[in-house]
Amino acid sequence: MQSRLVTMEEGGTTNPIRTNQSRVFPSRLLRSMLFLLVAGIVLSVISIRMYRNLGVGSRVSGALQACFQEPISLHHLIIKPPSYNKHTMNDSELLWRASFVPQIKEYPFKRVPKIAFMFLARGPLPLSPLWEKFFVGNEGLYSIYVHSLPHYVSNFSTSSVFYGKQIPSQTVEWGRMSMCDAERRLLANALLDISNEWFVLLSEACIPLHNFSIIYRYISRSRFSFMGAVDELGPYGRGRYDINMLPEVNISQWRKGSQWFETNRKLAVDIIKDTKFYPKFNQFCRPACYVDEHYFPTMLTIQSPSLLANRSLTYVDWSRGGAHPATFGKNDVSNNFFKKIREDQTCIYNNQPTSVCFLFARKFAPSALEALLQNSLDFFGY
Ligand SMILES: *[C@@H]1O[C@H](CO)[C@@H](O)[C@H](O)[C@H]1NC(C)=O
Ligand SMILES: *[C@@H]1O[C@H](CO)[C@@H](O)[C@H](O)[C@H]1NC(C)=O
Ligand SMILES: *[C@@H]1O[C@H](CO)[C@@H](O)[C@H](O)[C@H]1NC(C)=O
Ligand SMILES: *[C@@H]1O[C@H](CO)[C@@H](O)[C@H](O)[C@H]1NC(C)=O
Ligand SMILES: *[C@@H]1O[C@H](CO)[C@@H](O)[C@H](O)[C@H]1NC(C)=O
């Protein structure tokens, strides 16, 4: 700035006032530079004294260190932070952090949308070898998160896709709010990865019924999220509604659906940020009201009915009756059995009828693993 100013003054010789200024200018400049020099020396003497005598050394060296650290890029900050699954945030901190939503819709980097596979398990994942086979060759298109009981330590080898995928977990009681808390914890951890676009909740007894490309295409091209949500009459549906839920939820808004859902990123954020419905379900939906079958389906039906497919992607067999669905062992596993599940149904996909209704199935016992592994190419195409 100063050098440009001087050049201008030199060029403006025809203007008497300017000529005058240009003569005064150098001595003023000299004086102020001298002042700055003296001030600088005084300041550095003072700071060296403080550094030595007042014990602020660590703060000063901290600041110095910060100056020389490598600058942080968007890549390290947002796109690929060091590790997603290791953090010390508690639930309130985690949910708050996970609720961040970018306000500029266009990403300033190439974002390949991923499916987050979220396993809600007690301990081990006995069917993990089948999942390993399913994931092979699809790196970059999926993420994995595992919530298990807090004391459980998994022993996956470093070459496993499940290695290091356990998230900080807490105790879960069947049919209680702690179950929804665990699901929200899984969603929130998965939301920390900006590339996760779809979120699938699975159990340790779930298996994939198709190869990865079919499943990725089915989920990514759907205009609706696969949250089961029906208005069921009778004791196990509307019968579980409590009038105390008013005014947030009235009887005709009450929904029931399978716990095993798939949602897009928007609905995942809606679930983890909710503070309006949570207290009502926490207080007034307790066994025999199973909150994991009602909370998310009801809340999303009220908030975003047009985004829901109202059906689950996970096949479950309730035909045997009772509080728990059928478990399949090695004697149940056959091509015919899976053909029936995979094709002998009709449902609606993007407003069109289709025979592909289920992408996942449960419940499978560990004893089924060997037969599933041997025939997975025949049965499922992977
Ligand atoms: C998380 O930690 C913060 C700060 O210590 C605390 O205010 C908050 O109550 C904690 N939340 C939970 C759920 O423990
Ligand atoms: C993990 O532990 C289980 C039993 O605790 C054992 O059967 C299995 O072989 C172990 N797996 C590995 C990879 O070490
Ligand atoms: C997935 O399965 C479909 C149908 O069975 C098949 O056409 C496709 O080639 C398979 N994709 C891969 C990558 O194996
Ligand atoms: C429930 O609330 C909705 C939306 O406010 C309303 O349209 C509906 O009539 C209500 N149903 C009952 C039974 O009160
Ligand atoms: C799901 O149900 C809601 C009402 O509960 C409805 O508004 C919505 O259109 C349904 N979705 C589909 C895909 O039919």
> pLDDT at position 192, please?
94
Ligand closest to Cα of 88 equals: 1
Residue type, 88: T
Across 154-163, average pLDDT:
94
Pocket test for ligand 4, best of 252, 298, 302 (most atoms within 8 A of CB): 252
Across 122-128, average pLDDT:
96
Q: Does domain 93-312 have CATH number 3.90.550?
A: yes
Token pair recorded at residue 358? 């289920």
Ligand 2 atom closest to Cα of 157? 13
Which pLDDT band, with edges at 50, 70 and 90, does 132 fall under?
Answer: very high
Bridge-based pairing of strands 142-147 and 114-120 is: parallel
Which pLDDT band, with edges at 50, 70 and 90, does 72 fall under?
Answer: confident
Report which protein residue has its CA nearest ligand 5's atom 4.
305
Q: Which of 4-18, 58-72, 182-196 has the lowest mean pLDDT?
A: 4-18
For residue 3, pLDDT beyond 50: no
Across 186-196, average pLDDT:
96
Q: In what order do the strands lie in the sheet with 314-315?
A: 207-208, 360-361, 314-315
Which pLDDT band, with edges at 50, 70 and 90, does 342 fall under?
Answer: confident
Across 201-230, average pLDDT:
98
Q: Which residue, 201, 167, 173, 191, is CA-closest to 272?
A: 191
Q: Which of 184-193, 321-330, 359-368 has the lowest mean pLDDT?
A: 321-330
291 touches 281 (CB < 8 A):
yes
Higher pLDDT, 40 or 366: 366
Bridge-based pairing of strands 314-315 and 360-361 is: parallel
Q: What are phi and psi of 287, to 5 degrees?
A: -45, 135
> pLDDT at position 78, please?
78
For residue 213, pLDDT beyond 60: yes
Report which protein residue has its CA nearest ligand 3's atom 11.
213
Which pLDDT band, with edges at 50, 70 and 90, does 170 fall under?
Answer: very high
pLDDT digits (tens, 9 = 90+) for 278-310: 999 999 999 999 999 999 999 999 999 999 999
Ligand 4 centroid – CA 78 distance (Å):
42
> pLDDT at position 83, please?
66
Higher pLDDT, 62 or 41: 41
pLDDT digits (tens, 9 = 90+) for 238-284: 999 999 999 999 999 999 999 999 999 999 999 999 999 999 999 99
Ligand 2 atom closest to Cα of 154? 1
Fill in the DSSP letter of residue 168: P
Ligand 4 atom closest to Cα of 302? 4
Which pLDDT band, with edges at 50, 70 and 90, does 232 fall under?
Answer: very high
Report which protein residue has its CA nearest ligand 3's atom 4.
381
Asked if residue 381 has its Cβ within 6 Å of ligand 3, the reply is: yes
Q: What are phi and psi of 206, to 5 degrees?
A: -90, 150
> pLDDT at position 354, please?
96
Ligand 4 centroid – CA 250 distance (Å):
6
10 Å CB burial of residue 379 (0-12, 13-18, 19+) is: buried
Give the Cα-Cα-Cα angle 210, 213, 216 (nearest 5 degrees).
90
Q: What percent of the chain has pLDDT over 70?
A: 81
Asked if residue 170 has its Cβ within 6 Å of ligand 1, the reply is: no
Q: How far apart are CA 361 and CA 380, in angstroms?
A: 12
> pLDDT at position 273, please?
98
Asked if residue 19 has its Cβ within 6 Å of ligand 3, the reply is: no
Ligand 5 centroid – CA 300 distance (Å):
11
> pLDDT at position 353, please?
97
Higher pLDDT, 161 or 87: 161
Ligand closest to Cα of 348 equals: 5
Ligand closest to Cα of 168 equals: 1
Higher pLDDT, 71 or 289: 289
The full set of domain ranges for the chain reads 93-312
Q: CB count, 10 Å around CB of 229?
A: 22
Question: Over 193-258, what HEC string results?
Answer: CCCEEEEEEEECCCEECCCHHHHHHHHHCCCCECCCCECCCCCCCHHHCCHHHCCCCCHHHCCECC
Pocket test for ligand 4, best of 233, 245, 248, 250 (most atoms within 8 A of CB): 250
> pLDDT at position 249, please?
98
Collect all residues with Cβ–Cβ distance below 8 Å to 290 and sequence separation of at least 6. 175, 240
Ligand 5 centroid – CA 303 distance (Å):
12
- The whole-model pTM stands at 0.83
Bridge partners of residue 47, in order along the sequence: none
Fill in the DSSP letter of residue 108: S
Ligand 5 atom closest to Cα of 224? 13
Pocket test for ligand 5, best of 252, 296, 308, 350 (most atoms within 8 A of CB): 308
Tell me which residues have their CB closer than 6 angstroms to ligand 4: 250-253
Fill in the DSSP letter of residue 166: B
Asked if residue 14 has its Cβ within 6 Å of ligand 1, the reply is: no
For residue 62, pLDDT beyond 60: no
Asked if residue 306 has its Cβ within 6 Å of ligand 5, the reply is: yes
Indicate the average pLDDT of the chain: 87
